[in-house]
Structure 1
Amino acid sequence: MIVSSTDLTQRVNASVQTRHSGILELNPKSIIINPPANDIYPIEVTSIEAGYTTILLSIDPAIADVYDAFIRVTSLHSIELYHFSEVIGWIYFVAWSVSFYPQIYENWKRKSVVGLNFDFLALNIIGFTMYSIFNCGLFWIPSIQDEYFEKNPTGMIPVLTQDIFFGLHAMFATVVTITQCFFYERANQRVSWTARGIILVFALFLLISTIVAAATDKLTWLDILYFCSYVKLAITLIKYIPQAYMNYKRKSTVGWSIGNIFLDFTGGALSMMQMMVNAHNYNDWQSIFGDPTKFGLGLFSVVFDIFFIFQHYVLYRQSRKDVAADPEKPEKTGKDEIL
C-alpha cells in the first residue's frame, strides 16, 4: 500500500514496479494522488511464479526521496518445502557444530595426537578466524553495514546469528584441539614449511590490503571483510590435502577420527540438499549454477570425506587392526609435509 501525507502540495503520480518481471503482478501499477491528501492506497500483489524480487516506488514529479522505498518479496512453490528446508538447515548446523568433538575425544582417549595432521589444524584455525571476522564485522559494525547497503541498496545482510555462533564455536573447538597438541604425545609432528608459507602469503595479502584500506580510499573495510572470506574459501579447498597425504604416507588413519568425517559428510550433504530444495522452491537455480562457489565447496568437502572413509575402511583398515591387536606397538608417524 501507499500512504500519502497532508504535506502534499501538488498532484503526484506514484508508480510501483518489480525489479524482476514474471514473478509478481501488481494492481494497480500507478496511482494519481491529488492534494491535499491523507489517505491509504492499497496495491494488490499476486504471485505468478516462485522467485525473489523487489517492489520499487517512483514518483513524478520527484518531490521526495523514495530511494529507500522498496519491499523485498519472496514467492515460493510450497510452504512444506520451506519448513523441510528449515529442518535440514538445523540438522546440518548441529552436525557441523558437533563434528569437532570426536577428534577432541579421540585425542583425549589416546593421550596422543599422532596421526592428526598439524597443517590441517593450522589452516583450520586461520580459516575459521577469517570466517568469524567476516561474519562479526558484517553483523555488528554499522559503518560496514552502511558500505554493504551502499553497494546493495535492496539487499539483506547475508549473515545470520547461526553463522556467528558456528564460526566462533569452530574457533573454540579448533583451539582446544591445538592445545591438546602441546600436552599429548605428538612424536615428530609439526606444521610444515609449506603450510607456513601458505599462511604467510595469506597474512601478507590481508596486511597489505588493510594498510591500503586505512591509508587510501581504494579499498573499503567491506572489501577487507570480503578478502577474509576469500581466504576462508581458499583454505577450505586445500585444508584436507595434508591429512589425506599424511594418511597415505603412514598407510594408516589411526589418530584421525572417522566420527569427525561422518558428521562433516552429513553436514555437507545436507547443506547441498538444502541448496537444491531452496533452488527448486524459489525457482532460483541461478544461485547454484550461476555462482557455483558455495555448492562447489560443499561438494569438494563431501568428496574428501568420501575419500577419508575409503582410506579408513578399505585402504588402511589393516593398520587399525594391528593397533587394536598390539596397543603398545609404536605408530608410524610419517612426515606431515604437504609436498
Structure 2
Amino acid sequence: TMATIRQRIAGVTTMVPLLVALLYGVGVSNAQTTIGATVVTDPQDITVIVGQREEFQLKVRGALSQSVVFNFSDEHSDLVSVSPSTVAINPPATGGFIDKEYDITLLGLSPGQFDLIGEILPKGAIDDALGFIRVTVANSKAIIVISDVIGWIYFVAWTISFWPQMIINYRRKSVVGLSFDFLALNLIGHSLYAAFNLSLFWSVYIEDEYFDRNARGLNPVLANDVAFSIHATLATMLTLGQCFIYERGDQKVSRYAWGIMGIYVIVVLVAGILVGTETFHWLDFLYVLSYIKLSVTLVKYIPQAVLNFQRKSTVGWSIENVLLDFTGGMLSMLQMLLNGYNYDDWASIFGDPTKFGLGLFSVLFDILFIVQHYVLYRNRTDEKTFKDESTDTNTTTTSTGGSADSLP
C-alpha cells in the first residue's frame, strides 16, 4: 500500500545520517556527499584514570556552508576536564564539503561514569546526534584488570558448576537426593533467561526498542551472557533427562512447585496478550521474563534445603556444585564492590540492590548447604548410604510423596 511505501521511505530517510556517520567512522568511503555534515566521536567509549589524560577524536564530515561551534557540556566538570571544551568548525576554503578531525583531551579528576554530551551552535546546522562519548573515570587501572580477571573466574566457576551433579548422578545411576522442585524451577529460570539474552542480543527489532528508550546506552547483553544462559539451559535439561533414566525412588515435582510454575505460565500468557493488544512492547515482555528469572532465584534453593533436612542427608546433592556456586557468588559480589570503589558507583549496589541482593541470597543458601553437608549430616556420605537410598523406597526419601513411577 502507499502508506507502507511512505513508511519505508521515511525509515530509509531517517537512517541516512546514521549511515553516513558509520561509513565515516570506519573509513569505508571517502566520496563526497550532498547530505548535511555529521559530527561523531571516535571512540564512543573511553576510560580515563584519575590524574591521567586520554584522547579521542571529534570527526566532522559532510556538506557545510557556515561556521559553527561545538560545545561540550560542563555538567560533569568535577569528574573530568575537557580540552578544548569548545571547537570552532569552519567550512573549507576549497568548497562546502568538510572532512576533518579534532583531537580532544580528557583529564580524569574524580571517579564516575557519565555521558559527555556536545551541542552544535547554531542548532541544526550539523547533525550532532552522535556527538557524545561515554566516559568512565576510574581510580586505578590495576583494579580494572583485577575486576576483569575476577569476572572470568566466576564466569568459569558458574559455568562448570552444572556438571558435578550430572557426574554424581551418572556414577550412582540414581537421582535420589536431588530435589526435582529445584531442578524444575532452575530449568524455568534459565530458559527464560536464555530467551531474554538471545532476543536482546540477536534481534534487531528488540535492540532498536531498547535503544529507543536508552538512546546513548549500550546493549546490556554480551556474548558471554548468551553463552552462559544457553549452556545453563542445556545442562539443566540434561540433568532433567537423567531423572527419567536413573533410579529416583518416589521423588517427583511437588504440587507447590507446580503451583509456582503455573503462576509463571499465567504471567507469561498475560504479558503475551498485552503485547498482542499493543499495550506492551516486546521489550516489556522480555523484562517480564527477566523478573520471573529473578523470582526463581529467590525460591529455587528452598526445596533442596528442605529435602536435605527431611532426609537428614545431603547424599545425592553435589557439594561441588555448591562450592563452585559459592565461589562464583562471592567473586561476583567482590567485583561489584571493587567497581563501586573504582568508579564511585555505589548507587548500582545500594541504590538498586537487586543484583547484589540476589548474589548475597544465593551465597547464604550455599553456606546453609555447606553446613548441612559438612556439619549437620556429615556422617551420611558412605557408599552403603548410596545403595540403601537407591533401592529402598521406604526410607526418608519419601519427603515429596508419590510413587516410583511418577514423572519428575
TM-score, normalising length: structure 1: 0.93
Report the Cα distance in structure 2 between the residues aligned to 1:326 and 1:78, rounded to whole angstroms.
52
SS in structure 2 at match of 1:319? coil
With 193-202 and 311-320 compared, the bigger mean Cα shift is at 311-320
Q: Offset at 1:99?
A: 0.6
CA–CA distance in structure 1, aligned partners of residues 75 and 248 of structure 2: 58
Which structure is higher in strand share? Answer: 2
Contact 1:51 1:283 survives alignment (8 Å): yes
Q: Any residues of structure 2 matched to 1:196-275 within 5 Å, and which? A: 196-216=258-278, 218-275=279-336
Q: Does the C-alpha gap of structure 1 residues 21 and 221 become closer, same or farther in structure 2, counting only changes over 3 Å?
A: farther
Q: Deviations over 1:271-307 (max 9, x none)?
A: 1111111111222111111111111111100000000
- Is 1:182 the equivalent of 2:244? yes
Q: Matched residue pairs, number? A: 335
Note the residue ranges of structure 1 that are not aligned, 5 or more in a row: none
Sort the Cα spacing of 1:248 and 1:5 in 2 relative to 1 into closer, same or farther, 3 A. closer
- Percent sequence identity over aligned pairs: 49
Q: Which amino acid aligns with 1:168?
A: I
The structure that has the greater radius of gyration is 2
What secondary structure sits across from 1:53 in the alignment? strand
Corresponding residue for residue 51 of structure 2:
none
State the partner residue of 2:14. Answer: none
The DSSP-based 3-state class of the residue aligned with 1:200 is helix
Question: Structure 2 counterpart of 1:47, which letter?
Answer: G
1:48-67 CA-to-partner distances (Å, cap 9, x unmatched) read: 11221212121122223322
Contact kept? 2:72, 2:119, Cα under 8 Å: yes
Offset at residue 336 of structure 1 (A) = 2.9
Match of 2:342 among 272, 281, 302: 281
1:13 corresponds to: 69
Paired with 1:215 and 1:100, the residues of 2 have a C-alpha distance of 39
> Do the aligned partners of residues 140 and 18 (structure 1) sit closer, same or farther apart at CA in structure 2, a change above 3 Å counting?
farther
Structure 1 match to 2:117 = 56
What is the Cα deviation at residue 134 of structure 1? 0.9
Offset, 1:68? 2.6
Summarize the alignment of residues 122-137 of structure 1 with structure 2, pairs less than 5 Å apart: 122-137=184-199
Alpha-carbon deviation of 1:157? 0.6
My pick for the range that moved more, 275-284 or 225-234, is: 275-284
Q: CA RMSD in A?
A: 1.9
Aligned to 1:28: 84
User: How far does the alpha carbon of each residue in 1:225-259 deviate from its partner, in whole angstroms, 9 at most, with x for none?
Assistant: 11111000000010000010111111111111111
In structure 1, distance between residues paired with 2:81 and 2:275: 44
Matched, 1:2 2:58: yes
Point out where structure 2 has 5 or more consecutive residues left out of the alignment: 1-56, 402-408
Map Cα deviations across residues 138-190 of structure 1 (whole Å, 9 max, x no partner). 11001111111111111111111111111000111101110000011111111
Q: Give how far 1:327 is off.
A: 3.9
Q: CA deviation at 1:10?
A: 2.4
In structure 2, how many angstroms separate the alpha carbons of the residues matched to 1:186 and 1:2?
Answer: 65
- TM-score, with structure 2 as normaliser: 0.78
Does 1:168 find its partner at 2:230?
A: yes
- Higher RCO, Cα 8 Å, sep 6+: 1
Establish whether residue 308 from structure 1 lines up as the match of residue 333 from structure 2: no
**Aligned counterparts of 1:94 and 1:3: Cα–Cα separation in 2:** 40
Secondary structure of the equivalent of 1:45? strand
Q: Which amino acid aligns with 1:161?
A: A
- The secondary structure found in structure 1 opposite 2:127 is coil
Residue 166 of structure 2, aligned match among 82, 87, 104: 104
